[in-house]
Amino acid sequence: MTQPTTEPRYDVIAIGNAIVDVMAPCSEDLIEELNLNKGGMTLVDAEGAERLYQAMGPAREISGGSAANTLAGLSALGAQCAFIGQVADDQLGAVFAHDIRAVGIDFDTPARTGEPSTARCLIFVTPDAQRTMNTFLGASQFLPPESLDDEAVAAASVLYLEGYLWDPEEPRAAMRRAIEAARAAGRKVAFTLSEVFVIERHGDDFRALIEDGMIDILFANHHELEALTGTDDFEAGIAALDGKVPTLVVTRSADGAVAISDGVRAEVAAEPIDAVVDTTGAGDLFAAGFLYGHVNGEPLETCLRRGAIAAAEIISHYGARAETDLARLMAEKLGQ
């Protein structure tokens, strides 16, 4: 990889779905009645999104999207960030743009005119805190490669890519272009696998990126690790990626997380909390905490601790954006 010749303007620049989350509590019976994939993420069309919205109880609208959530966490910790994603020129698009800029993240992708509308994720939260996500990708599927600011990508210490967005053709091409720009500038590329169904559809692409040395930091949960490597043995899955990814980060829900970086292994337990309210965004905020530590040169275990602290804050309330001062919380937890 080319060595960077300039100091980065951004700590992290991310490409991801620009989505507004619509969240509501619901009963187990409603999940069954609507035949939803409990605890998972399912893509729906515009008609399906409207049908599910009508079945929802009182809801909250919160700007989301996996990579955008990660950047919001990073920004809350003091990192300089930028986001690339596609919204439509409509009300939800304006909401998303306002919210992401309001937390200090640069967002300059022009809004898209006409149909489809801005993406939304309808999230049903059951009493056990599991979130069942139903996503209408809308305008986010139409992020064209020419919308990329190659100079901005090259000016970020880390390019962070959201696996969910690998599915549609245009943003997949945009992300491939971004990888080239980042690597030509000597920057690191981080990738989050996002969901098992994404791996089932594009696993060959992801494995090729890994084999070709295009990914420097890979985020996965234990289910995604199994889908990517083809083994349900956790240690065998990690071993299968040994030496192929400079930094591998695997979360295991209540069992904590493991990271291996250049042969060094670290593990942390999950942070204790009083009650799990909503698991939406747990992985996104884990990545935020980890990346903040990484770009600041902290030890691997500290990076994992930051991830665990951020994830614990998120699952203690509804929504995937922090409701407490993350920087202060981490300072307290880490004794800084």
For residue 256, the cross-strand partners are: none
Work out the pLDDT band at 1, boundaries 50, 70, 90.
Answer: low
Runs of H (alpha helix) within 212-270: 222-229, 234-241
Contacts of 152 (CB under 8 A, 6+ apart): 9, 10, 13, 82, 84, 106, 108
SS3 category, 147: helix
Q: For 196-252, write each residue's pLDDT tens digit.
A: 999 999 999 999 999 999 999 999 999 999 999 999 999 999 999 989 999 999 999
Q: What is the pLDDT of residue 168?
A: 87
Residue 34 domain-assigned (yes or no): no
Residue 39 domain-assigned (yes or no): no
Question: Which residue range forms the structural domain that includes residue 165?
Answer: 10-16+65-113+141-334
Q: Please, what is the average pLDDT of the chain? A: 93
Q: For 169-182, write each residue's pLDDT tens digit.
A: 999 999 999 999 99
Residue 267 domain-assigned (yes or no): yes
Residue 45 domain-assigned (yes or no): no
**Strand order from edge to edge, sheet including 257-261:** 106-107, 81-84, 10-15, 156-162, 188-192, 217-221, 247-251, 257-261, 264-268
Domain with 318 in it: what CATH number? Answer: 3.40.1190.20
Residue 98 domain-assigned (yes or no): yes
Domain count, the chain: 1
